[in-house]
Structure 1
Amino acid sequence: MIDFKDFTLYIRENSDSAAAVRECLGAELSHTEDGAPLAEGFTLSLSDTANLTFLAVSKRGGKIGVDAELLSRTPPPGFSSVFEWTDLEAYCKASGENLFALAKNPPDLSKIPDIEITRITTHGCAVSVAEAPCASPLIKP
């Protein structure tokens, strides 16, 4: 567990998402119709890569997104680093935006108000956590 001011990041090895939510939060994992993870009483996001599960839980109750990729991964075309990709995917999870639509013409995430992105390097992975405490121009209500 890595504790930040506005969120907590849990990391589990050899654990699926449902088991990680049970172990870390004592809650059962379910999903919205569009596939977003849900656990009663928590605002959370999940990412799986290699044998690792990353679980980000908001302390503020705002929307949150997490993405993790191995640092050794080659970034997708049009992205200069793995972090650029994990930033975008975490942002899309927090905002509800379509990842593949935005990947064609990625926005400058540093210019979007009310979005905070935290980058972490751990367990050989690039990890991005995006928080959207308020509505932003690209976030649909």
Structure 2
Amino acid sequence: MTQAGKSSRDDRDMISSLPDCLIHAIMSFLTAQEAVQTCVLSKRWKNLWTTLPFLDFDVCYFECEIESDDNEWDFDMPRRKKFEKFRDFVSTTLLLRESSDLHKLRLSCADGGRYDSHHYHMIVRSWILYALKHKLQVFKIVFD
């Protein structure tokens, strides 16, 4: 066997050759944000996240940067901006997701609801309705 032949065999992407159900099982250990980021790995992975039956959204994984013109006296501004990024990510992810069944959904929302309670509850309600329409089996929501 030539060195070139051995090299090409070692460079193969073995994970991408697995069936979707096994890749989904592996991806179930990732947060939704990490799962969506797998779309950059290859053409095979580009839309794989859109059929995930398990989604784990957690506001603690979101960063926020405060702009210099933001009110420096508003101590809740970083927390509010962080929740807004989280809210937009969850809503966009659910919007772009294919209509396949959703077996498990975890939402860890922290205390985003204290800023605009009515609006916040309407958004969370829309996420729950989405999950129910997609035959949700396991649901966990955390409001710390």
**Shared fold (TM-score, shorter chain, > 0.5):** no
TM-score by length of 1: 0.30
Q: If each structure's helix is expressed as a fraction of its own residues, which one has the higher value?
A: 2
Q: If each structure's strand is expressed as a fraction of its own residues, which one has the higher value?
A: 1
TM-score by length of 2: 0.30
Structure of higher CA gyration radius: 2
